[in-house]
Structure 1
Amino acid sequence: MTDQVMELVIYKIKPNQVENYQTKIIQHFRELVKSFDGMLDYRTYHAVKEDGLFVDQVEWKNLDCAEFAAEKVKEMQQDETYAPYLSAFEEVKFFLHVKHVA
């Protein structure tokens, strides 16, 4: 069995920020997350029938890497540099780390 961990995040983007989020903000944030140790893959999905609802699926080498990245993101939320990214969010609905079992 592998130590790899999948991070699932379901979140809502403000209606007036959806286009900007998809075309600019997510790319910038994705590059930042890719710089964290242990990040293996990062995919973003947009709900088909609910505008503004997104799902991020991030694969990490292990739980330690995933938790370290989550803490770094929390720290970044206090930094004004990331205000445009954070202001696009309406709410985070779900955040979970999971492991493959079968």
Structure 2
Amino acid sequence: MERINYGELVQTILSQHSGNDLDTETEVQLVFDTEREHYQVLHLGWYEQKRVYGCVIHVDLKDGKIWIQRDRTEAGVANELVAAGVPKEDIVLAFKAPYVRQFTDFAVG
């Protein structure tokens, strides 16, 4: 069985989250550093009279695993990865404290 290309899969999933769901004055930026394997979705611009800038999703690939550093989505990037065929033992919920990860169904590190 051929191994899933995690970099390509992460880019595909994050690209699906690049829709503009706030306002026409804001934008969503995809930031892909494929050399160092860092992937982000950023919201920026203005909503009404307030500045919008924030990281919605941040994923890194380290040591053959997918490290989800930040996930502000409803569906959950980890769930999307599992649905795409990634084994849970290859996904680290890095936004959870290391001592809590043992209580999830995902990898601890």
The two structures have a TM-score, normalised by structure 2, of 0.37
Q: Which one has the largest radius of gyration?
A: 2
The two structures have a TM-score, normalised by structure 1, of 0.39
Give the number of the structure whose residues are more often helix, by fraction: 1
